[in-house]
Amino acid sequence: MKHPFEYEIIYSNRKTLAVQITPDGTVKVRAPRRCPNSTIDHFLQEKQSWILKYVSKAKQNPLSEKPPLPPSERNRYIKIARDIFTQKTAYYAGIMHVTYGRISIREQKTRWGSCSSEGNLNYNWRLIFAPEEVLDYIVVHELAHRREMNHSKAFYAVVESVLPEYKKAQKWLRDNGRSLWTVV
């Protein structure tokens, strides 16, 4: 089936299909290893209007290329992020009655945070330029994976039990997250 956009398929050990629009408007489909092309085509057909909307948005607002940060400045931001996320994670883990492993501060291009099955947490240091409620949401989101390792209704019920207005932070990230790449 022909789609009105080019896309790249990335196969991995994942269990579900996902689509990602990169900041430059490239469409990437992440798929389980043995996923049939017909399933991928159907998935892309269902998501077509969403994909076209975000491809258009990315192409209208291209990220301006900035020179890379000097290592000393980048390390300073990483240290600030480590302090913030260490405190917030300990605070919310206590409220949520969950444990976690180590905390890593990274600069992932496609994620704001992640939680491994061992409970290790990764946070993107660029979040330090987002509003406080967005940082809280990312921490609670990752800690909720200690209860539900998925994005089911049960998972979002855990998030909502701690942050009833979490959807505002989600919307902020959707609408403004790209700007965190141009702050510094």
Buried-exposed string 37-64: b where 16+ CB fall within 10 A, e elsewhere? eeebeebbeebeeebeebbeebeeeeee
Instruction: Tell me the pLDDT tens digit for each residue of 5-15.
Output: 889 999 988 88
The 10 Å Cβ neighbour count of residue 112 is 20
Question: What is residue 56's predicted lDDT score, i.e. its pLDDT?
Answer: 86
Collect the ranges in the chain with pLDDT lower than 50. Answer: none
Mean residue pLDDT across the chain: 92
Read off the pTM: 0.70
Q: Euclidean distance between the first and final Cα of the chain, in Å?
A: 41
The sign of the dihedral angle between the CA atoms of 106, 108, 111, 115 is: negative
